[in-house]
Amino acid sequence: MKMKKEHYQKIETAINAAEKRNPGIKARYLNEGKPKSRYTWDMLHYSEIDGKTGTAFICSELYPYLNDKHIDTALNKIVGDYA
């Protein structure tokens, strides 16, 4: 994985917090037939990281050295099973 360890850890912490703030969100996505990729990216966008929105963090910290495929790999690892 090309993502820096500190970025991965920040995203993991933020996504876990977002899931705790929204109990049952994964089940809702599954019931609506939304794919895992939609869930993982939405969780990243809904997250707050270093006082920034997830989107701002992606743009300022990740896109300078990663592309969506690299980010997607990390998100899939963080979220784990989606069923």
Q: How much is the pLDDT for 83?
A: 79
pLDDT tens for each residue of 12-66:
999 999 999 999 999 999 999 999 999 999 999 999 999 999 999 999 999 999 9
Query: pTM of the predicted model, to two decimals?
Result: 0.92
Q: Cα 44 from chain centroid?
A: 3
Q: How much is the pLDDT for 1?
A: 79
| Cα 46 to Cα 18: distance, rounded to the nearest angstrom | 7
* Assigned token pair, 48: 């707050």
Higher pLDDT, 62 or 82: 62
| Cα 83 to Cα 70: distance, rounded to the nearest angstrom | 23
Q: How much is the pLDDT for 3?
A: 97
